[in-house]
Structure 1
Amino acid sequence: MKSTLKKLLPFAVVGVMSGATTVGALQYFNHDSNNTDQSYFTKASNVSFAGMNSAAVGDDFVKAAKTTVPAVVTIKNYQSRTSSRASEQDMLDFFFGDPFGGKGQQRQRQQQTPDNMPSGMGSGVIISPDGYIISNNHVVAGANKLEVVLSNKKSYIATLIGTDPNTDISLLKIEEKGLPYLNFANSDNIEVGQWVLAVGNPLGLNSTVTAGIVSAKGRGIGILGSQGKAANPIESFIQTDAAINPGNSGGALVNTNGDLIGINSAIQSTTGYYQGYGFAVPANLARKIVEDIKNFGIVQRGFLGVTSLDLSDDQLVAAYNKQKNTNIKAGSGIYVTGFGESSGAEDAGLKLGDVITKIDNIAITDFADLSMAVGSKRPGDKVQVTYSRNGKDATTTVTLRDQKGGTATRTKADLSVTEKIGAEFQSIDDKTKAYYGVNSGAVAKNVMEGSEMAKAGIVDGYIITEINGKPVNSQKDVENLLNKFSGTVQIKYLDDYGRGYQRGFKMP
């Protein structure tokens, strides 16, 4: 007994010292947290605290840390931020042209944040020796420059290869060879209760390693959809009690072999700092997104083609019953409420009221399970769908399709104009035009985060009045004006208050 206590004593001391260090760091950095990735560190009122873990695999932690730390980088996000006076200048330019003969733009540039001041910082993981780096979409969002700093302090300017708001994954590239990197593990094989390490750069503390266990799998927390940045979010997070704080986003979640099992993305907290649980994008999903971006330039997303009700959510089921005057029972599975156009599921024989219980023999208990099972596949892939109808189980084969009903993979060259610039447009009536005092206009909708339209400052509800000096009244007008166009696009638009702006971007 005494011998055992002597062996455990060093770990107990380390635990106490780590706790004290964390408290001190929080107080030290709390006064200046603007340069960390706060946007995905959400507050929740129903958080329970995790107990202290006994350190039983210290040697494995050391091995995993030595493997992981050199492959985890700091990512600095630089953005241009202008003052309100610059916005006022935009209105003058919009209605009257630049009254200062070009000096207005010069004044606006002078009011931008200095280039040496990043707007935010997060983490990333090197996944190949030639410089490919995976991170979160929200770490790189809105950047006009991305700086990558290695654990050895060497710095690079990175190229953003692509992003996916639906999974909160991004892919960057730096020009270097022979870099340390991490291998993807099969995240389907992880078990609740197994030891994991989170490695990143929280609160400005570079190369920080924390340990914990896998607390749950397939967790949906509603963050991607609620932020309004993902049209079709896939949330099937790995939940862990390893300490994760602002700045950890985009960093590595690894097993005790140092293999990458997830990309840290969010925490649930009442304060915005670590209080018990962190969430990571599973490695299998992250790898699929990266492969799509590298091979096709865009993410290939398969869909069943159904609208559905998550039977595991009692409140949703109760609300649906009240609205539709039905008596559907809550439980497990996905209740089919409708079908989209060119639905693969409908063509395969599914009907309204069927309850999807398995995909490829994997149990589907809630929407997080369904989004992971289907969203991690591509158009044209076939899946075995098991469903219950009138108390009897059946299985059918569904060919997944993209949102336009296609079954083939596409590249950037195959995208429509509105897909390339990242927004759709809806015509407005003459009364609305008269109210805003314009002769033309189309409302922007479904503006994608990180798209060219978003970078130009346009969000859902803004009115596009002109593109390249030509009036815009419909989505067809936008398609016609920019089809086969290359070069700089000039857009005039109104915000919610009717204030006018003019912005430009290079056509993708």
Structure 2
Amino acid sequence: MDLSQQLGGESAIMTLDGEPVPSMQRRRITLGLVLDNEGHIATRLIDVTPNRPPINISVRALGSRPAAAKFIGMDTVSGLCVLKTDDESIKSGAFSSPDPLPVRMDINLYGFHPNKPLNLDSAVVAGSPRVILFKGRISKALGDFRYNQGNPIYTLVSPGLTAVQDCSLILDRGNSIFGLAIYSMGAGGKHLVYPVSMIQKITQLVINTHKSISHGWLGATGIDEYGRMITPTSKANNPTVSERGVRITAVAPDSPAEIAGVRPKDILLNVNDRRIETYAQLASLIRQIPANNEINLRVKRGIEYKVLRAKLAAAPAVEPEQQLIAFARRLESMEEELRLLPPSDPARNKLESKVDMMRHFVGAVTGPAPPEIRLRVFYGMEVQPLTGQLMNYFSVSQGLLISNVLEGNRAFKSGLKAGDVITKIGDIVITDMTSLMTGLDKWVNGQLQITVSRRHESLKLNFKN
């Protein structure tokens, strides 16, 4: 067993339910699980994402001196982070991995005192906080929407858990390590336990690939909307009872949603046994389910109710903006494949249909995004407004200054450079972000001409859209 200390984090801790996170200071001690004798450790760290790893971590076994550790990656569903230390004193403990896993089990919880202050000062961080053994019980989370044979999570029946006890070790009554406790703020106060066998499976993938693991992905987007529920007392052609759901607006081609039979205009009501009333709930719920897990989708289509089964794929990226970039690049690739396909090719009609689906999907998922993100994702550049002083410097009366061009994207391929000032797109004079996006979005296919000022000279560039 191991104590892991993170320095330099922000004031938050990842939870599994999308609820607000508790406030913490930038220094915190947490428990962790030594996975092997090669220095790999599983734990949960404050405010860590795959693109924002912890800056400075030290770990130590009880009774030993702190040693440096590095962050390898994390599982975005559970929040489990994998660390690596070269300290040879960090050794693995005895694991309890019964096969089959018991339905319920008496346990010992090894963690901090539940009333320990959440805001830890530097003196406490530098010291040795007391760790206590609590008797308790766990049971398989059979009624939880996240549970299945491939995701055999447990519910911590007792003792109660506080935020400071997140990542406490769960021991069997012989004090062999059975798993880790995961603190959740929502879900009716039900906290989860991940068994060692599952932790090893998750972390081994991170260790082997040196990459973080993305959450599950359905490949459908939608909007909040009221549906109509048919009841025995209502007529089929005049239903009177309302219920909330998510109206599907777009489905990605070849996605789990399309394969399962989800269609635009379907109203999604349930995922497994979990009621869905808003798109925010749906997005949060899917992020809590690992890839390759199967889920049941209850949808309303017209006046009929259907149950569809989908197997989630891995999200194309672990960060939301990276996902948008991945969608845009896939669309570009599909459009290029279609462009190269001869008109007489029998596969052309099918590919045209998929390209149309992908265009609609990309438009639906990026439409709500701020223009700055859409500009970066679709066109590969960042801009900033011109002050009067900058206008004088660049000898222009209007325009937007390109502050960054992303290598390999459309702006880069078209010859745009950081320091250029965009003054016109076609006949549209560029004065602000709205006029810029109007000009760019106007050209769906083909090329458009962009006028820029570069080193006090006016240039016209063909922008491939």
TM-score when scaled to structure 2?
A: 0.47
The structure, 1 or 2, with the larger RCO (C-alpha pairs under 8 Å, 6+ apart) is: 1
In proportion to residue count, which structure has more strand? 2
Question: Greater CA radius of gyration, 1 or 2?
Answer: 2
TM-score (norm 1): 0.44
Structure with greater helix share of residues: 1
